[in-house]
Amino acid sequence: GGAVRCRAVAVTTVDPATQRARVLARPGMSEESLNLILSRQMPDAEKRRRAHFLIDSGHGVEAARRRVEAILSAIHMMI
């Protein structure tokens, strides 16, 4: 994939139960649709393994925002 052309990759992750609850809360989303989407994606564990930076969205928006800011600071130090 395109990650080989990147100096750093950030991945947003959340535990499977939270992911499922969030997705199924969307209008028109079904278990069947979610399962189809997940079957076409790289497994979360593999995404996390390949990432240079992780953003755990399971701790709320503000915590994720702080993590993104920290990642951006780290990236600025890299360039």
Task: Return phi, psi of residue 40, to 5°.
Answer: -95, -10
User: Per-residue pLDDT tens for 47-77?
Assistant: 999 999 999 999 999 999 999 999 999 999 9
Domain ranges, residue 49: 2-78
% of the chain residues with pLDDT over 70? 96
User: Per-residue pLDDT tens for 8-19?
Assistant: 999 999 999 999
Contact indicator for 69, 55 with CB cutoff of 8 Å: no
- For residue 11, give the 3-state DSSP assignment: strand
Separation CA 43–CA 51 (nearest Å):
13
| Number of domains forming the structure of the chain | 1
Residue 1 reports pLDDT greater than 80: no
Contacting residues for 74 by C-beta, under 8 A, at least 6 apart:
8, 53
End-to-end CA distance of the chain: 22
